[in-house]
Each structure stands twice: as C-alpha cells, then as structure tokens.
Amino acid sequence: MNFQLVGLIKLPQDLKENKIKNMKIDNDVAMFFVGSVVPDESNYHTEAFSRAGVMFQINLLNELKSSGLINLEIYSYELIPVYPKSKKIYIIEKKNTSITKNLDVTLVSFINLMIFKQLHIGINILIQIVKWGKRNIHKNKKIIYAYNLTVPPGIFLLIGSKLAKATLAVSINDIVLPENHGVKSFFRKIDLWLHRIMIPKINKIIVVNKSIALDFGKKNDFLVMEGGVNSLEIKRWQGLTRSNKGKNKFKVVFAGSIEPINGIDCILGAFYLLKNDNIELYIAGRGSWTNKVITATRNYKHIKYTGFLNFEEVNKLYSNADLLLNIRMTEKKYKSKYFFPSKLIEYLITGIPTITTEFDGLEDDYKSICFVLKDENPRSLAELISQIKNMDISERKKIGDAARSFIKTNKTWHHQAERVKQYLFS
C-alpha cells in the first residue's frame, strides 16, 4: 500500500474544537498592512497572480476589519511580471482600489525592471509608513503587518517600524530557496541571506510552517497559522453529497500552478498508466508546464485541460470531482521545506477525498483525514488512485466528511484571525 491513514477516521462528533475567546480591539490601535493583495478580477490575473496568496490576505484582513480593527490602512503593489515578460515598464499608483465590499487598497507605483522594482516598491512603502506614523503619532499601539519579506525587501519594513515607533509583524508563507529555480539564482541567494538576518529582528512572526521560524533563528515567540476557510466556503460545501449513480467516469482534479514542484510530471505519468481504468484527470491552472499538459491531452483522451479558471469555475470543477490531488513534491532537488500548501485546506473543506504528499509541516491531524502518498512516483500514485476508486463510496464519504468537519471546526478564518489578534495585541 502506498498511502497512509493515521489512526481511526475522526467522525464529526469525535472532533474537539479549539475554542478561543473573541478579543476586542481598542480604537487606540492602528495597523499598516503591506502585502501583495489585489482584486481577484480578470485584469489582475497575470502570470504573477497567485489566488492562494491573495485570498489568504483578503480573508485575514476581512476578519480583522470586521472584528473591530477600524484604523486599518492597506498598501500593496500590482502583481505583474518584470519587463520584458510584461510590456509595462512603469506601473502607476492606484489609490482606493476596492478588493472587497469593506476593504480598499492603495497600489503603489514602481519601475517594472529587475532590482529596481523591489527597491522602488520598498522606498514607496517606507515613505507611506512614515506618513502613517505621523498620522497616528498619538495611538497607543501601532503595528506594521507585512505579508512575506521579499517584496518589498524586509529592510525597508524594519527601518519604517523604527521611524514610526511601531511593532513589526510579518506573515511568512513561503521562502523560495535558490535551488528551486533550476539555475542557482544570485538574487534568490541574497533574498535567503536577508531572511536569515531579518527574521530574528522581527517583533512578531506568523508562519505557515514552524520550520520557518525555528530554522531562521526565531526559536520562541512565533505563531503557526497555515490559512483557513471563510463562512461562504463552509456554506457552499456543507450540503454537497456524493453519488456514483449514473456516472461513467471517476473524476480526479488538480487545480493550481502547473509546475514540476506541484507534481505535474508525476500526475501525468500516473495517468499514462491509468489510461484503461475508466478514470479521467482534469487539470486547471497555468504555469511553465502548460504546453506539456496540452500535449498530453492530445495523446490521451482521459486527460483534460480546463485552462485558468476563475473562483466560481474552480468550485464547479471541484463539485464534480471524486478525488483531489495535492502533489507538492518533497524530493531533495525541490527543497520545498518552508511552506504550507493552502490548496490543501481549500480541498479538504469540500468533503471530497484528497491525496497529499507528506511535506514538512503536515501534522498528524491532517494525515488522519487525507490519503498520504508515501512514494512520489507515477506508479505509486496510479496504484493509490486505483485503490481509492475501488473503495466503497461510503468509506470515501466518511473520509471526506471527517476532513470537512475538521476544517470547519478548527480552521475557519474567524478562528484564525482571533488567534492572530491575541498574538499581536496581547
């Protein structure tokens, strides 16, 4: 057997809720948020757009704002590839850009050239921090809260926090190592070096994987928060029922960046072996391996490519699936230790059985509600998919229901935001 289910499946009534009291935020608190949040709209869907990262920020900010954080200012930058991948050399500032009904963001201007982009964004953010600090000079508590440390470079945030006399807090969701880029990138090495210098100097650090804090010198005083689901997602999937009645095909879905690190080669290889097993694969997204996926669809009729889908289209794809794939590769050559795939939480709330690799940071609670792929190769994945397909549908439903109940109980954005508030403001 090439998968693992740890312990007994936890039925909904067996799950214990990690209750946390709501914390009231005083009006004498001001927050300056800087991240990479933009509207989830087609004109912002460039190659650099990451829905997972954008939704992480939007959901957290929505909960912080609705829980009483009145004095919240949000600054970001347009997610766009650097010139010449993008034809734009200079990106103008966009004030009061609406990202949700309750949230507006200022998108700062920048020169869209390598190195100049990061520096220009950093300088503009620093200027805005100084102005914000002056506007809120009499506030009892000021917090600069950043999403990741690469853009803008963390040094600008650290300088800004000193000038504004504010607490510096950072959510670090991913640290990209130089080896992940094929050629050992000089700039990635500099970025990694800056992370090692910066992380111990940050006042409050929130990570998706504890290894980020422990390996980069923050042994104490950090919070692990890997993401969550909002109330709309819970309602959307609560009434979903699975049935094989009238279905001719067992549908397997992968949605995300079409990159080797996300196991695309392994997934395609598995389905080359499964061509006669009445199983279909649907791939949604885009990336450097898109053309290889398209080629596969021409040679194998049971492999389908949907293109890049919007949020509602992705959910519709999930609702017709029998199995979801989170194949984040963990082999040494990928060096992908410092992350947590928020896609996994997105999958589990659907109640649809999910295969995942055993990446660093996959705790036992998650292992008990997923099928864990132990050997990351096409044959093992093909065998596991076949085993799951041949399970009684009631057993698959039990696993899916347990996963959905666990996420609903412990990983709502309301719950996660309360944990963040207590960590930041206590």
Would the CATH topology of 14-228+412-425 be identical to that of 231-409?
Answer: yes
What local confidence, expressed as pLDDT, does residue 1 receive? 42
What pTM, to 2 d.p., does this model score?
0.88
HEC profile for the chain?
CCEECCCCCCCHHHCCCCCCCCCCCCCCEEEEEECCCCCCCHHHCCCCCCHHHHHHHHHHHHHHHHCCCCEEEEEECCCCCCCCCCCCCEECCEEEEECCCCCEEEECCEECCCCHHHHHHHHHHHHHHHHHHHHCCCCCEEEEEEECCCCCCHHHHHHHHHHHCCEEEEEECECCCHHHHCCCCHHHHHHHHHHHHHHHHCCEEEECCHHHHHHCCCCCCEEECCCCECHHHHHHHHCCCCCCCCCCCEEEEEECCCCHHHCHHHHHHHHHHCCCCCEEEEEECCCCCHHHHHHHHHHCCCEEEEECCCHHHHHHHHHCCCEEEECCCCCCCCCCCCECCHHHHHHHCCCCCEEEECCCCCCHHHHCCCEEECCCCHHHHHHHHHHHHCCCHHHHHHHHHHHHHHHHHHCEHHHHHHHHHHHHHC
Could you state, in order of their start, the residue ranges of all structural domains in the chain?
Answer: 14-228+412-425, 231-409
**Contact 247/269 with Cβ under 8 angstroms?**
no
Domain 231-409 has CATH 3.20.20.70: no
Residues with pLDDT less than 70, the chain: 1-21, 179-184, 241-247, 332-336
CA angle centred on 225, ends 224 and 228, rounded to 5°: 160
What local confidence, expressed as pLDDT, does residue 327 receive? 97
CA-CA-CA-CA torsion for 179, 47, 128, 67, nearest 10 degrees? -100
Write the pLDDT tens digit of every residue in 177-189. Answer: 776 554 457 888 8
Which superfamily does CATH assign the domain made up of 14-228+412-425 to?
Glycogen Phosphorylase B; (3.40.50.2000)
What local confidence, expressed as pLDDT, does residue 18 receive? 53
Write the pLDDT tens digit of every residue in 161-171. Answer: 999 999 999 99
What local confidence, expressed as pLDDT, does residue 186 receive? 80
What local confidence, expressed as pLDDT, does residue 9 receive? 41
- The residues, ordered by sequence, that sit 6+ positions from 46 with a Cβ below 8 Å of its Cβ are 79, 80, 81, 86
- The structure tokens listed for 25 are 């935020």
What local confidence, expressed as pLDDT, does residue 178 receive? 75
What local confidence, expressed as pLDDT, does residue 239 receive? 72
